[in-house]
Amino acid sequence: MEGTHSDIPADAVEISSELYGQLLDGQSSGQAIDFSISPPALKARVVQGTAAMERALRDSLLDSTEWLSTRHRDELDMQRPTTLTAEQFSELLTYRQALRDWPQSEAFPDGLQRPIAPFWIAEQNQ
């Protein structure tokens, strides 16, 4: 690679002047440059407040479904008919695990990528 600098790192990637300008403009407007890909690209900067808010919402969603899991297990322990079907209970457990895994997801904290609750949960009465 040729340039005005004599000490160019071995892992340097040549980019066009146009891309260089786009990266600088994006960086000045609050975006981050992702150097893990080639050529580098802009990505939205993760705001810690957003991540904290998503974690709090995730915790709230887990808390709000805990009673469903507890009720189902209690009904099984008492050998009573269960309010949830086996399929619903499996869906509930899968949803709750997805919520637990959510903060480690690459898409976190994008709320549009948050795990979606099975529709029938909203129909349950506590």
Mean pLDDT score, 5-22: 82
Q: Which residue has the higher pLDDT, 7 or 123?
A: 123
Classify residue 10 as exposed, middle or buried by CB count within 10 Å of its CB (0-12, 13-18, 19+). Answer: exposed
- Using CA atoms, how far residue 16 sits from 5, 19, 32, 38, in Å, is 16, 5, 18, 12
Torsion of CA 95, 100, 104, 110, to 10 degrees: 60
Residues 92-117 pLDDT 10s: 999 999 999 999 998 898 888 899 99
Residue with tokens 């709750």: 96
* Average pLDDT of the residues in 29-58: 81
Strand partners, 32: 43
The DSSP letter of residue 32 is E
pTM: 0.62
* pLDDT at residue 6, as a whole number: 73
Check pLDDT > 70 for residue 47: no
- For residue 125, pLDDT over 90 is answered with no
Is 9 exposed, middle or buried (CB count within 10 Å of its CB: 0-12, 13-18, 19+)? Answer: exposed
Q: Mean of the per-residue pLDDT values for the chain?
A: 88
